[in-house]
A and B are shown apart, each in its own frame.
Chain A
Amino acid sequence: MLADLGFFLMWLCCLTTIYGVGAGIAAARLRHRRLFQSSRMAQTVTMIMCASASLILWYSFYQRDYSLFYVAKNSSNDLPRLYTFTAFWSSLEGSHLLWTLLLSVFSSLALWTYARDNEHIMPYVAASLQAVLAWMFYLLITHSDPFVLSLPARSNGNGMNALLQNPYMAIHPPTLFIGYTALAIPAAYSVAALGYGDITEGWLRSARRWTLFAWSALTAGIILGGHWAYIELGWAGYWAWDPVENSSLIPWIFATALLHSLVVQDKLGQLKRLTLILAFLGFFFSFFGTFITRSGIISSVHSFAESPIGPNYLYFLAAMLTTVAALYAVRAPSIVPAETGKVWGVSKESALIITQFLLLTLAVIVCVGTLYPIVSEAVTSERTTVQAPYFNTFAPWIGLGLVVAVALGNLMRYHSGKIPGGWRVVGVAAAVALLPAGWFIYLGGVFGTERPFALGAQLVGIYLSMWSAICLSWDLWVRVRDLRFKWGYFFKHNLAYCGAYLAHIGLLVAILGFLGNYRGLAKVATLKVGESTELFGYDLRFADLKVTQKANATNYEGHFHVERQGRLIADDLIVARSKYPTSSELHHEIGLFSTLWHDLYVTMSDFDKNTGKSATFELHVNPTVRLVWIATFLMVLGGIIGIFDRHRGARSRDAIRSAA
């Protein structure tokens, strides 16, 4: 009964959004304010109904109402409370509903909190957002309905995918979805700007805030996914250039590029059209990524989300692309850059262009690498694989370019190739950087690397990152010095700058962390109970093999006593394989001891099922993984701080000109 209500609500949502699109377009064409308000009201009602439908699904999960096929498929009686909550999005239909719910919430938020200056374009924003929503609701009531019944109701469900029963999986998908859906707002603003034929004064401010919000969520979401892979999949890595990971990285790259093009637009009134394109493509690729994941076009670890709705996605993507491309072709010529005299040349704006180039090249490489197997199969009918070696051939060079561009770009000024303090600063930083780089190289044990290329890459990477960080800090120093070291005052009035500083430092820390991959160690050891093994100074004594029951899982636990040079590291490090009642596979529960410099990462690859007295373990020493997590924190914090800046975009270059 409730399930029918849920379906009915989604069906109504589809109608209200279609009305909202119509009302939005009419309001825009007729310049009719109340029609816009009506469209906005339709959106709000949609949000409420969609939230109600979602609540019904959650309620059914907690009621263990197995008359719902989705509930029966993704939960079972023994599922803990937390995972009953997250089971909501553990499969295709529910994650669609969550996606739609988030999009409808953000759309309503965007429509109620717009800046007064944007009034003319808001009907277009309302129409474009609701057009996307209308399609999502269409999908929800046709091909991806979470309220399908399966009668008679069973007494127990199939259970949730055991890989997803992890706290990180409770927050990774929603965080990522927040990022994806929030990217719809800048995209809608850019479609609105095209529809209206100009960029209004408040445009940049709103687009910038939403982009920063989406970017922060995406950053957090992507790395949470990496963290999940690291601790759950047991292959000792956090990034595999897996198609699904790639398809979350591409929108992130576009969002990053968008942020940098917004800066140029804010300061100089240039790159407006690039901004519009990037804003749209960011959202487009977030959808495209979903298409790759959901259509099963490339099978991957995330294949639990496959379904036969691929063609539908493809039609929608094609429709979206052609509509916006046509709109762009017609309207873009009327969106002109500010008439500014001196731009480009050697200056900050040029450094930002180079950053754009590097970022977009990376996006293209990731995209080519991800899609190449499909293309190759279509063209030559030969199956190929594109995995990490391909991406790792190119990505470090882009990273290198970005590290240099971050340093020089931040030192330079708009309209001017001059650096405060002169190019001497760059040289001094290069000399000073030797110190922290040497310190890092010594303590990080970089010279343990034997392979010349890996060693060289690390030395160059570490040195340049340190140099770049010093250049960045020098720029901060110069700016605060000019305010006579009123740090609080500076911070208060330059939140955008401070956020960017943190995010850029975060990038450099992340690169330091990534470089650790060049010097990882690993070892496989088959041990009997009581035996010891040794890696990187760690003495691991295999103390015991036990079988325990933990929540709904049966664990086969290997217990280790770990010492390092006579110092106790862990009295009882547990490495386990766990068996969930609903799946025949054994899942990894890793043993992890982490420091700033490296992680000791232990998995059990096999154990003697007859005697229970011996097992095979894989031991890894993964350097500087923790730096990657720290870096993410810095980047997300930077993004959030940036959102609160009141000055960016408040007086765009165009506004000043028109006021003059």
Chain B
Amino acid sequence: MRAAQVSAFRPSGLVGLMTCLLFVLSVVAVHARAEGPGVDKTSGSAAAGGEKVNHDDKLAGALDKDKQRSYLDTATELRCPTCTGLSVLESDAPFSVQIKNLVKEQVAQGKSKDEILKYFTERYGPWILRSPPKEGFNLVAWGAPIALLIAGPLLVWFFVWRRQQVVVGRQGVRPTEVIVEELEQRLAVLRQKHQGRQAGEQL
């Protein structure tokens, strides 16, 4: 009877959970609508590129949408020479601004991302790129994580799962029959005791 009640809880519990969730969501949604972007799609259409968009001075303003995209793609791959961790796009240091202007010029000339990156690599060395080019010794840096992601699960499987499989007869693991037999023996002993006590009470 009790078991039936508990299992009957499950679907109603889920419904309850969902109702609560819906309620919370609707309350928050109504509240958040006021703050949410909702209406605004105007600047989004011009600027939203998934990545951050900079359209400063005349040059960049003159770039069409594809070239804007290409400019952004390229500039995020170049480091700000004077700061730490930032791309030229994120920095307004004088050096970065120079680089940005060069990138804009070259994008306007119709150069591709690879060509522009090559241009900068030739001048400043691979140091100017925010991630090392995937060639030569640098493959170590790129390969290590991938190798680890592939080899890791294999190693775990080999060293932990496979070796620690339960082996009957080792590490104190006994076969089921032995355990059953032992339990039955104990039960027999208990029965005997019980019968003995009953007999004693009758006397």
Question: A interface vs B, CB < 8 Å?
Answer: 235-237, 240-243, 245, 299-301, 303, 339, 341-345, 350, 353-354, 357, 360-361, 364-365, 368-369, 372, 375-376, 379-380, 382-390, 393-394, 397, 421, 428, 432, 435-436, 439, 443-445, 448-451, 453-455, 473-474, 477, 481, 518-524, 526, 534-537, 565, 595-598, 605-606, 616, 618, 620
Does B171 interact with chain A (Cβ within 8 Å)?
Answer: yes
A390 touches B83 (CB 8 A): no
- Contact for A536 among B44, B125, B152, CB less than 8 A: B44
Within the assembled complex, what's the spacing in Å between the Cα atoms of A535 and B54? 12
- Report yes or no: A242 in contact with B145, Cβ–Cβ below 8 A: no
CB distance from B1 to the nearest CB of A (A): 15
Is there contact, CB below 8 Å, between A595 and B91?
Answer: no
B contact residues vs A (CB 8 Å cutoff): 6, 9-10, 13-14, 17-18, 21-22, 25, 29, 32-33, 35-44, 47-57, 76-77, 79, 83-87, 90-92, 125-132, 136-138, 140-141, 144-145, 148-149, 152-153, 156, 160-161, 164-166, 171-173
- What are 26 A-B contacts with C-beta separation under 8 Å? A237-B90, A243-B85, A339-B171, A341-B171, A342-B166, A357-B152, A360-B152, A361-B149, A361-B152, A379-B137, A385-B130, A389-B130, A389-B131, A421-B10, A443-B32, A445-B36, A448-B48, A449-B50, A450-B48, A477-B17, A519-B48, A521-B48, A521-B53, A523-B47, A534-B43, A597-B37
Contact: B18 with A432, CB < 8 Å?
yes
Q: How far is the CA of A397 from the CA of B152 in the complex (A)?
A: 14
B32 to A596, Cβ gap below 8 A? yes
Beta-carbon contact of B131 and A236 below 8 Å: no
Whether A341 contacts B173 by the Cβ 8 Å rule is yes
Q: Is the CB of B85 within 8 A of A300?
A: yes
Q: How far is the CA of A168 from the CA of B49 in the complex (A)?
A: 32
10 closest Cβ contacts across the A-B interface? A451-B50, A537-B40, A240-B85, A445-B37, A454-B50, A524-B56, A242-B85, A390-B131, A522-B52, A387-B130
* CA of A341 to CA of B156, assembled, Å: 19
C-alpha spacing A526/B56, complex, angstroms:
8
> Which listed residue, B32, B54, B129, B149, touches A385 by the CB 8 Å rule?
B129
A453 to B166, CA, bound (A): 44
**Minimal Cβ-Cβ distance residue in A for B56:** A524
Given A303-B84, A451-B49, output 18 extra A-B contacts at Cβ < 8 Å: A240-B86, A243-B84, A342-B166, A344-B164, A345-B161, A354-B156, A372-B132, A375-B140, A385-B79, A386-B132, A435-B22, A473-B17, A520-B51, A522-B47, A523-B53, A524-B54, A535-B43, A605-B92
CB-based contact B47/A535 at 8 Å: yes
**Within the assembled complex, what's the spacing in Å between the Cα atoms of A343 and B131?**
42
Whether B36 lies near A443 (C-beta < 8 A) is yes
Cβ B35 vs Cβ A596 within 8 A: yes
Q: Which residue of B lies closest to A564 (CB)?
A: B40
Does A390 lie within 8 Å of B13, measured CB to CB?
no
> In the complex, what's the smallest C-beta–C-beta distance from A426 to chain B, in angstroms?
13
**B48: A residues at CB distance < 8 A:** 448-450, 519, 521
In the assembled complex, how far is the CB of residue A348 from the closest CB belonging to chain B, in whole angstroms?
14
A565 CB contact (under 8 Å) in B39, B79, B149: B39
CA–CA, A616 to B50, complex, Å?
23
Which residues in B have their C-beta under 8 angstroms from that of A536? 37, 40, 43-44
CB pair B91–A448 under 8 Å, yes or no, is: no
Q: How far is the CA of A245 from the CA of B85 in the complex (A)?
A: 10
Q: In the complex the two chains form, is B41's CB within 8 Å of A448's CB?
A: yes
User: For A597, what are the chain B residues with a Cβ–Cβ distance below 8 Å?
Assistant: 32, 35-37
> Contact at A618–B130, with CB atoms within 8 Å?
no
> Could you tell me if B51 and A448 are in contact, using CB atoms closer than 8 angstroms?
no
Residues of chain A within 8 A of B44, CB atoms compared: 445, 448, 521, 536
A526 to chain B, nearest CB (A): 8
Contacts known (A387-B130, A450-B48); A598 close to B37, Cβ less than 8 A: yes
Query: CB < 8 Å: which of B29, B43, B152 contacts A537?
Result: B43
In the bound complex, do residue B92 and residue A481 qualify as a contact, i.e. CB atoms below 8 Å apart? Answer: no
Contact present for A365 and B145 (CB under 8 Å): yes
In the complex, what's the smallest C-beta–C-beta distance from B157 to chain A, in angstroms? 10
The distance from the CB of B87 to the nearest CB of chain A, in whole angstroms, is 7
Residue pair A382, B125 in contact (C-beta under 8 Å)? yes
CB–CB A339/B29 < 8 A? no
Query: How many whole Å from B203's CB to the nearest CB in chain A?
Result: 37
Min C-beta distance of B179 to chain A, whole Å: 10
Q: Are A361 and B148 in contact (CB under 8 A)?
A: yes
Please give the distance in Å from B88's CB to the nearest CB on chain A: 11
Also in contact, A301 and B84, with CB within 8 A (given A341-B166, A385-B130, A388-B130): yes
* Other-chain contact of A389, B14, B22, B76, B140 (Cβ < 8 Å): B76
